[in-house]
Amino acid sequence: MGLTLTEKILKSHIVDGEFTKGSEIGIRIDQTLTQDATGTMAYLEFEAMGVPRVKTERSVAYIDHNTLQSGFENADDHRFIGSVAKKHGIYFSRPGNGICHQVHLERFGIPGKTLIGSDSHTPTGGGLGMIAIGAGGLDVAVAMGGGAYYITYPKIVKVNLTGKLSPWVAAKDVILEILKRMSVKGGVGKVIEYCGEGVKSLSVPERATITNMGAELGATTSIFPSDEITKEFLKAQKREDVWIPLAADEDAVYDEEINIDLSALEPAAACPHSPDNIKSISEIGSMKIDQVCIGSCTNSSLLDMLKVAHILKGKTVHPDVSLSIAPGSKQVLNMLAKNGALSIMIEAGARILESACGPCIGMGQAPNSGGISLRTFNRNFLGRSGTKDGQIYLVSPEVAAASAIAGVLTDPRTLGDMPEFKLPEEFDINDNMIVTPADEKDMDSVEILRGPNIKPFPQTSPLEDVIDCKCSLKVGDNITTDHIMPAGAKILPLRSNIPAISKHCFTVCDEAFPGRAEALGKSIIVGGANYGQGSSREHAALAPLHLGVKIVITKSFARIHRSNLINAGILPFTFVNENDYDKINEGDELICENLKEAIREGGDIIVRNKTTGEYIPCSCELSERAKDIILAGGLLSYTKMNG
């Protein structure tokens, strides 16, 4: 029996555990990436481990999230990250060099390698044939120190692509179709592997768009084969030497299979307020719009930008619409400037933003009150745009550009014949915004530069045998990390200051929560299904930790957030019977006894509601390693104890 592509790469990297479905395995990590919103904390954690120099083949620190410098905080974080990178063997991509996933695809990604990044859209690297996984900052720090990264051996879903996309139908429409079929929780515990003749019709940037938004499925990662298309892309980046051919065996066996005829797809949109709320453009109709934002790690490649420029050429943005465009990297921006496409965009009335995450992470360009905004981004969670009642639709660059001209949601197939868009045979290569680390002989002389906003990693303590406290908050299904720990220009600068950022924890749901949790001293949170979906930000675990949260009880968890809770020493319980969710209310006093023994032995754990007298069985399924992490009080304590 043959192997899938996923299995081939995982098998060649496994260092711990059994190669069997559902078991926990530790894999060797070849590359890591961080960005500045999560990076400061990741590097504080790396420093705490006492490892002098990273042990990966390549680690890169990117500045792309917190680039709005309205105070000293972001600039201080950038300076800190740059100094840590120089001292500890990490390449440093300076502000303005581009979005981490776009730059990594261009300059560092290698087929067949493993990559983890402290950003949930790290699976973008799967477009090159990498096993690229989003993770919490502490997991990335451990990997930089030479430790394995642990995942549950995943189910593998084969997506068989046939046919070819029709003119003006985009890669974005492929992943929106998959989200429509699988939902935002349909990929949990799975890797999405793309196969079939249709793969050959997709460029590397198009493949990367699809793998990027695989994060919205809740999937561990997504991956395409490495073929001649991959080789041509790497050759154009002058990195042909790293290419290897990679594909699944013909007799590989998959856990699930989805068939998609690319020629049958049509332009679509994810409607407010979830990436899986999919409708076709024709189904929605000519809806008046207020704003269009083109960019993000999903759709900011040179190929995307060339299509946008073609649509805008000789036109003017509708007077009722604000159009902003953010090319994904300095390389893309520079090539647009040289070939005249940038001038076309400017002449049409587009507002050109820097090569950064920008509006996607709530860093500027918030729409007007109740405004309808079309975005080529990956998430449209309530309030993420910076405007709580903003109506955010996720669309392809083709839909976005056509609509910006018309002033209403527009099917780009009305534009007439589509020319053939080709990537250049050679990209302009200029890595002068990537700072190489100091040599080992010089690293001791590098000074770490810390600003006053940078605070230490929160203190953790070993697991208590009895937890007796109140439920400080009860929330519903599909709570995102944006609910738990909001993004945006006001809060993101506090990412390196857990005490300060904790004051904003869950304020989207309940403005009184931070004060109430702090006053209680310790407490328990109750949630619904798919709790913690979205970003990899470990702050959504570290802020509750700072506020004294000991246990989170839900119907189900999103993968990365559950791992982050364990890493922080917070117990992730799930209801054995989902209906028991109704047996706990905010303010109820809950008690769990004999916890150490219960965690060691596994099995159900009884949560007694002292307020109502109810006995509620909960599950806390943990690997042997995760049990040790919880008992130690978190991954940092566990790592220190185990050298």
Q: Which amino acids are annotated catalytic?
A: 64-65, 119, 379, 535, 537
d(CA 181, CA 171): 16
Phi, psi (deg, nearest 5) at residue 595: -70, -40
Among 400, 399, 415, 331, smallest CA distance to 359 is for 400
Give residues with Cβ within 8 angstroms of 197, minimum separation 6.
161, 162, 163
Amino acid at 45: E
Beta bridge partners of 62: 35, 93
Tell me how far the alpha carbon of residue 42 is from its chain's centroid.
Answer: 15
Question: What token pair was written down for 414?
Answer: 């009305």
Amino acid at 550: K
Among 560, 553, 642, smallest CA distance to 605 is for 553
Q: What kind and span of H or E run contains 565?
A: helix 559-567
Strand-pair category, 278-280 with 268-270: antiparallel
d(CA 539, CA 37): 10
Among 284, 478, 458, smallest CA distance to 380 is for 478
d(CA 371, CA 296): 20
3-state SS of 331-400 is HHHHHHHHHCHHHHHHHHCCEECCCCCHHHHCCCCCCCCCCEEEECCCCCCCCCCCCCCCEEEECCHHHH
**Do residues 493 and 390 make contact, with C-beta atoms less than 8 angstroms apart?**
no
d(CA 331, CA 429): 7
* Cis, bond preceding 273 (omega within 30 deg of 0): yes
Q: What letters, b where the CB count within 10 A reaches 16 and e where it falls short, cover 209-229? A: bbbbbbbbbbbbbbbbbbbeb
Taking the CA atoms of 233, 234, 237 and 240 in sequence, report the sign of the dihedral they define.
negative
Q: Please measure the distance between the N-terminal and C-terminal CA atoms of the chain and give it in whole angstroms.
A: 39
